[in-house]
Every structure is written in structure tokens, then in C-alpha cells.
Chains A and B, each alone.
Chain A
């Protein structure tokens, strides 16, 4: 199923900074958030769609995102997520560590 591409573990690990980064662009709901991740990754990151929600709920528990039920344009109730101040700080921290990792990898791959 997974084929070539990032391993399950890597996909799971990157889900947190990715969700935070997408929400930093503005509040969003699960489905649209997932499509946005898909677009950003060019389809390279395949998530089992439902798995997004445990990630979101964990972030909510940690106080990094805030969720609220609201009326969607079709009249249905939809749950929207927005980044909190704490979430923004967490995103900065995530960004620093991921950039450190990618910079190290780039150096290692580039210097031979």
C-alpha cells in the first residue's frame, strides 16, 4: 500500500508540524486540511484520512489548537480548528528542529 516514499513512522512524525503549519495559514476543517497537505506534498505523503483526527485531537488536548463546531456553507455542522498562541510557539519550535535535521542531512549528502 505505502509503496516507495516516506515510511509510516516518518509520515506520522511529520504530521504534527504539517498540521500546525497548515493551520498557521488560517483556521480550517479536517477534510480541507488533508487536501491541503496532499497538495503541498504533491501526493508524496499518503495519510489514511481518518488518522488526521487523532492527531488534531491530541493537539487540541495539548492546547495547541482550538476547535469549534460551526455551521458550514451547506448548513451542516462542521468542526473548525484554529492555532492558539501556544500552538504558534510549538510550530516555531518544530520548525527549528526540522530545519536542523534537514540542514544536517543536506550537509551530509552534499559534502563528499
Chain B
């Protein structure tokens, strides 16, 4: 097995970037240092050993990120703001999905003979119930998977480290999700409203206000995502003016 140094360096850089604590310009500087240490070690070690010993001498990503964080006291707030925005984004996408599922269930129930009245009875509570459902389900998923917040942190960090490509991919994913949720919602509404459904699939029509409402929903989700990315990039390249490094990573 031959040692792929480029891949190792990429991995090494990513392990810092995904923690969101170092700027790209700082990473360039660290990499320059890494290469100088490597060159010094290569006199006595093979290329792979030289790389790992140099990386070790520079310090672990966790320890270094912690030291860099001390230079930037308000970073903690930016991380918190990012978590709040991520929570809002999840709420925007998950609660409507849950409520659509509930509506579908109510519609199914209403179709069972003798249960027609149940749908009308349950419907006023559907939004509260869907919120509860999302909270309980996400708490259960987090507990069952034993996932640490680092998983989310790393995921956001690695997508954001891809620069604009990463952003547009994330926008496409979120818009597709929102579209799926909207579709599910329309279906569920049609399903729970028998007189409308009876008139055929064209029954759910959008007025101009309806379209504007729909568009603003998408715009809101994209704005939330943009804010998450903006914070991530800000966290990752804190002082671009001082470094003068290129804005695009890799």
C-alpha cells in the first residue's frame, strides 16, 4: 500500500475545517509549517512516518481549535446562533411533514365506516399533535442513535468547506425537501376534505396570495440555510482581511 500524501493532507485539513475553528488562511499557514517539519523529518523517516510525526508535532485538531478559540471570544455565540438557525430549519421542514402525515391518518380514519366524525374532532389538534410528534420522535432518534452534536457539526462543516458548490447542493436538497413536504401536504389536505377531493385532483387551486405564500416559504428556508452557511464561513475564515487568502477553499 502506497502512501497518498495529497489525500492525507486533504483529510488533515478537513479535520480542522470541519471543527469550524480555523480560517482557511490559518490552515494554509499551518500546512506550510507541516511541510517544513516534514522536510526536516524526511532525512531520517519515510514519507508516511514523516507526515504523521509532523502532524502530531503540530498538534491535534481538537487542542489547536481550542487554543484558536481563545483568540476569538465571540465565536461561542456564533456557534449558538448557528444551532438556533439549524433548529428553526428542522422545525420548518419536519413539523409540516408530521402534520401532513397526521392529516393522512385522519383522512384514513374518516374513511372507516362509523368513524366519520373522528376526523373533524381530531383536526383542530393536528398542528399541536404534529409538533409533539416531531419533538418526541427527534428526542427518541437522538437517544437511540447515541449521536453527538459533533455529527451535525461535522456534516455542516464538511458541506460548507466545499464552498459555493456545497451551498448550492444544500439549497437544492432543502428546496427538494420542502417541495416534497408541500406535495405531501396538498395530498393530505385533499384526502381529508372529501367534498373537495370528490371534485377531482384540480380542486386544490392556488390564488395569487397562495403562490406568494408558497414562494415566501421557500425563500425563508433558503434564507435560513444561507445564514447557517454564512456563519459557518465566518467561523472558518474569521479574519479574511488580514490573511488575504483566496475566498474559495480547495
Contact = CB atoms under 8 A, between A and B. Distances in A.
A76 interface: yes
Contacts of B36: 31
A30 B33 contact: yes
B33 A48 contact: no
Interface string B231-250: 00000000100111100000
B59 interface: yes
B33 A54 contact: no
B71 A61 contact: yes
Interface string A47-64: 011110110011011000
Contacts of B63: 48, 50
Contacts of B244: 68-69
B68 interface: yes
A78 B28 CA distance: 8
B32 A49 contact: no
A31 B35 CA distance: 10
B57 A53 contact: no
B242 A49 contact: no
B26 interface: yes
A53 B32 contact: no
B29 A49 contact: no
Given A57-B26, A60-B242, A69-B244, A50 B33 contact: yes
A85 interface: no
A57 B71 contact: yes
A51 B63 CA distance: 9
A46 to B, nearest CB: 10
Contacts of B30: 50, 53
Interface residues of A, number: 21
B68 A57 contact: yes
A55 B145 CA distance: 39
Given A30-B33, A31-B36, A79-B29, A67 B68 contact: no
Contacts of A78: 32
B11 interface: no
A53 B26 contact: yes
B36, B37, B242: most-surrounded residue (chain A CB, <10 A): B36
Given A31-B32, A79-B29, A53 B245 contact: no
B70 A54 contact: yes
Interface in B133-153: none
B58 to A, nearest CB: 4
A77 B28 contact: yes
B71 A49 contact: no
Interface in B89-115: none
A49 B68 contact: no
Nearest to B29: A79
A61 B59 CA distance: 22
Nearest to A68: B244
19 contacts: A30-B29, A48-B57, A49-B33, A49-B37, A49-B58, A50-B30, A50-B33, A50-B63, A51-B67, A53-B26, A53-B29, A54-B67, A54-B68, A57-B239, A61-B71, A69-B245, A72-B32, A77-B32, A79-B28
Which 6 residue pairs spanning A and B have beta carbons closest together? Answer: A50-B59, A50-B58, A54-B67, A31-B36, A48-B59, A50-B64
Interface of A: 29-31, 48-51, 53-54, 57-58, 60-61, 67-69, 72, 76-79
